[in-house]
Chain A
Amino acid sequence: MKPMFLPGVEHNPQPSPHTDLIRKMQASGAEYPQIWHLFAFRPAATDHLSRFTQEIMRGEGPLSPGMRELIAAFTSYHNDCPF
């Protein structure tokens, strides 16, 4: 994987579930999405993003989770973000 713009972010994971995930993937030599480093660097901010994502994607609502993921995938495609 290519190094990120900010080594201070990539190499300073804070205690968080994403840090555990990163360690596991690194130990097994597998690739993983680098957005995990963003979530591991600043959990005080990104925990709120996770809770927001959970609510909007999986919270009670008339749109099925599949439909919501489709909207997210469609928008990400148009933003040229493959992940």
Chain B
Amino acid sequence: MPHIQLTDDLPGIRALFHFRPETAKPLCELADVLLHQPSSLSQAERELIATYVSSLNDCYYCQTSHGAIAAHHLNGNEDLVLQVKRDFKTAPISDKLKALLTIAGKVQQGGKRVTTEDIENARRLGATDREIHDTVLIAAAFCMYNRYVDGLATWAPEDPESYRRRAAVIAQSGYNQIPSDIQAQNRASAGGVTS
């Protein structure tokens, strides 16, 4: 049960977005820039970084929802997402992505754990400064999102199918839509009365 009174209709961070729309908007816009908008890293790669960090933080909602979005971008390959979470070093992904996941994992432990060797290794495998920058920001942002979701004990659905359905929507339309969708739902459930 959530630590504060939240709407029952929405799981995880979406209940928090509903609770506090003013902070929801920049948080969703940040997620959209980092995960959805065009980048030299694919959407699947960026969602895998977010999923991996969320799994290290033991955030069930975030790792399952972003894992489902990653799988969606990977033509439904949920096994690959699972392999990345369990042991990305043996997963069939590029060496560059492995180097970026190593950096993301260090950021999850604490920013100062990232070493010049980690950075040089990623560069040697073809990562640009922009890609390394975005990896660190995705990892840091997800530590925030994960702590936000679990620090208020939001509930998370258990049915994997509900995450797959939701993933298809997010993969298509991105994260910027979320705050206005929640407001629209809110108005509809209030019987058309705007607040």
| Interface residues of A, Cβ cutoff 8 Å to B | 5-9, 12, 38, 41-42, 44-45, 48-49, 51-52, 55-56, 59, 79-81
Contacting pair B137 A52 (CB below 8 A): no
In this complex, what residue of B is CB-closest to A7? B129
Would you list 22 pairs from A and B whose C-beta atoms are within 8 A, ordered by A residue?
A5-B114, A5-B119, A6-B119, A6-B133, A8-B129, A8-B133, A42-B133, A42-B134, A44-B33, A45-B33, A45-B34, A48-B26, A48-B29, A48-B33, A49-B26, A51-B26, A52-B26, A55-B22, A55-B23, A59-B22, A79-B111, A80-B112
10 cross-chain pairs, A with B, having the tightest CB-CB distances, nearest first = A8-B129, A52-B26, A48-B30, A51-B26, A48-B26, A6-B129, A48-B29, A45-B33, A5-B119, A55-B22
A45 to B37 Cα, complex, angstroms: 10
Instruction: Report if B130 contacts A (CB, 8 A).
Output: yes
In this complex, the member of A5, A8, A9, A42 whose beta carbon has the largest number of chain B beta carbons within 10 angstroms is: A5
List chain B positions with a Cβ less than 8 A from chain A. 22-23, 25-27, 29-30, 33-34, 37, 110-112, 114, 116, 119, 128-130, 132-134, 137
A10's closest neighbor in chain B, by CB?
B129
* Cα separation A42 to B130 with both chains bound (whole Å): 9
Contact call B26/A55, Cβ cutoff below 8 A:
yes
Secondary structure call for the B interface: helix
Q: Are A8 and B26 in contact (CB under 8 A)?
A: no
Contacts of B112 in A (CB 8 A): 80
- The smallest beta-carbon distance between B56 and chain A, in angstroms, is 16
The answer to whether A45 touches B111 (Cβ under 8 A) is no
Q: Is the CB of B116 within 8 A of A5?
A: yes
Q: Which residues of A contact B30 (CB under 8 A)?
A: 45, 48-49, 52
**Separation in Å of the B14 CB from the closest CB of chain A?**
17
Chain B contacts of A55 at CB under 8 A?
Answer: 22-23, 26
Which of A6, A12, A42, A56 touches B23 (beta carbons < 8 Å)?
Answer: A56
From residue B26, how far is it (CB to closest CB) to chain A in Å? 4
The CA of A81 and the CA of B130, in the complex, are separated in Å by: 23
- A12 to B29, alpha carbons, bound, how many Å? 23
Q: Within the complex, what minimum Cβ distance (angstroms) separates A57 from chain B?
A: 11
Known: A8-B129, A42-B130. 20 other contacts (CB 8 A): A6-B119, A6-B129, A6-B132, A8-B133, A9-B130, A9-B133, A42-B133, A42-B134, A45-B33, A45-B34, A45-B134, A48-B26, A48-B27, A51-B25, A51-B26, A52-B26, A55-B23, A59-B22, A79-B111, A81-B111
